[in-house]
Amino acid sequence: MKGPTIDWEALSPILAIFGGAILVLLAGLLRARFVREKLVPFLALATLGTFLGLSIWQWDAGVNLIEGAMRVDTFAMYLNALFAVAGIAAVLLAWRADAPRETSHGEFYALLLSSIGGMAVLVGATNTVTLFVGFEILSIPLYVLCAAEMRRERSLESGLKYLIIGSVGSATLVYGLALLYGATGSTDFSRMVTAIDAGDSTDSLLLAGVALTLVGLAFKASVAPFHQWTPDVYQGAPTPVTAFMAVATKAAAFGVLLRLFDVALVGVQPTWAPVVATLATITIVVGNVGAIGQSSLKRLLAWSSVAQAGYLLAGVVVATRTGLEATLFYLAVYLIMNLAAFAVIVARERQTALGDHIDSVAGIGWTRPYLAWPLTIAMLALAGIPATGGFIGKFTIIESLVDGGYTWLGIVIVLGSAVSLVYYLRVIAAMWMRPAPTGEPAAAVSASGVGGQPVLAGGSPELDERGGVHWEVVLVAVVAAVATLAAGVYPGPLFDLVSDAGASITSLI
């Protein structure tokens, strides 16, 4: 019996990322300090660079793999590029952090690479079985990474919470996918489209499957009211891991949402679109209101990510090429502006005893402008201020909503962005209009130190033993901030990329 034909060239990005994960894990077993602390991160970066290069090589492949279980197209390769950028930034931010040391370096970076491999499988899936496999490969390493700082109670709590809630989301998703199979008689997206077109689009079994699948993916994308895990997990996880989760996981979740709902389930779009629009509205309101009273920058960005999920979900609603491209554009912008913000948080956690408290950035506008400007640009972009990529991203989503007959949802996005200024401008005001704190009580200390070094229990914030910010952290912050401005001032090249990505799957509708 002849087995399935496999295009190894098209599969090369996924083979590279998983092969690199194995190599990194084995290298991490070596006892030499240089190997563990220098060579292992370098191998992780080399793996991600290879993954990115191979994804660019397969940009226009348009190949179905393993009897249609996966598709290598521009859409998947575009998202692979986002995963690679997020992974490279996470490796740089984690290079001299506590988490890799506590997980023997090799394990930390191997888990990170494995999660990216799961994301690549997920966004290329054209079969519900492959979709669930990718979903789990993505999720399981992240559960461990959240608890990577094993000596810190909040990190362990973060990993446990994410495991429990993530398991509920996975169970809901697999049940929904099973109902979709029962309603359409197939696990392949293309056959599901045919079955839906030929059958009853109001069939209760089909609609139940759509609803449960949406809920399962909503857990992963931090869509309200399935967002409860987000603030605690974001705050408790090591900040480099939080930065990676905030951008890459969301890109993966919305990538599969676009391929599943705007392609496979587009035949029932008139039924699910109002529900998704309602979820988007709730998510925007809950996220923006929840962020207003936060003093922890990581919790603030967690609630912000909930609101941003609402904006992204709005692009899914209309199920048109314009909406799809607007969502893809905003995913790229969301990635760079969040990386800029999290890089500054990493820097201040290493410089002060205040952890991620908003006071940690007080006064840095005048003392450390190389950190203040990236965080300022990130906050303005997240709020959707003109001349930033965030403004262009929101504008394109609103335009697609107006064209698709959901003008009211576009108004919700505008109002939500206006409310978000309350907490984004508070961070900017702390940097530029408040003096640096001269002393903090012991209760304000949220970390045990940098590199295992203790911090003063009741004195002023202290610089770490290395005397300042590491160059790689500043590099991530500055490059991400510049890219955010470039996407707002000259968005043409990014629009060309998302146009190619959108065309690769809308041709299948």
DSSP letters for 416-481: HHHHHHHHHHHHHHHHHHSPPPS---GGG--SS-STT----SSS-----TT-S--HHHHHHHHHHH
Token pair recorded at residue 206: 């089909």
Which structural domain range is residue 83 located in?
12-506
Q: Using CA atoms, how far apart are residues 203 and 191, in angstroms rounded to an integer?
A: 17
**Gyration radius (Cα) of the chain, Å:** 22
How many CB atoms neighbour CB 243 within 10 A?
Answer: 29
Q: Is residue 457 part of a domain?
A: yes
Q: Taking a C-beta distance cutoff of 8 angstroms, is the pair 118, 499 a contact?
A: no
d(Cα 57, Cα 249) in Å, to the nearest integer? 24
Token pair of 66 as six digits: 């393993």
Assess if residue 2 is contained within a domain: no
Buried b (16+ CB within 10 A) or exposed e, 217-235: bbbbbbbbebbebbbbbbb
Contacts (Cβ under 8 Å, ≥6 apart) of 121: 14, 70, 130, 133, 134, 137, 138
Q: Is 102 part of any domain?
A: yes
Domain membership of residue 4 (yes or no) is: no
pLDDT (tens place) for every residue of the chain, 509 residues total:
566 667 788 889 999 999 999 999 998 888 777 877 888 999 999 999 999 999 999 998 888 888 778 888 999 999 999 999 999 999 999 888 776 666 677 889 999 999 999 999 999 999 999 999 999 999 999 999 998 887 778 888 888 889 998 899 999 999 999 999 998 888 898 888 888 888 766 788 999 999 999 999 999 998 989 988 899 999 989 999 999 999 999 999 999 999 999 888 888 888 899 999 999 999 999 999 999 989 999 999 999 999 999 999 999 998 888 889 999 999 999 999 999 999 999 999 888 888 889 999 998 998 899 999 999 999 999 999 999 999 999 999 999 999 988 999 999 999 999 999 999 999 999 999 988 776 543 333 333 333 333 333 333 344 443 345 788 999 999 999 999 999 999 999 999 999 998 888 865 55
Kindly report each contact of residues 452-456 with a partner whose C-beta sits within 8 Å and lies 24 or more positions away, as own/partner: 452/98, 452/101, 455/353, 456/353
| Domain contains 7 | no
Q: Write 31-39 long-range contacts (CB < 8 A, 24+).
A: 36/104, 36/105, 36/106, 37/101, 37/105
Decide the pairing of beta strands 63-65 and 70-72.
antiparallel
In a domain, 19, yes or no: yes
**From CA 479, how far away is CA 484, in angstroms rounded?**
9
Q: How far apart are CA 113 and CA 15, in angstroms?
A: 11
Q: Within a domain: residue 1?
A: no
Alpha-carbon span 208 to 275, nearest angstrom: 13
- Looking at the structure of the chain, the number of domains it has is 1
Query: Residue 5: inside a domain, yes or no?
Result: no
Nearest-angstrom CA–CA distance, 60 and 82: 17
The dihedral built from the CA positions of residue 200, 204, 210 and 214, taken in this order, carries a sign that is: positive
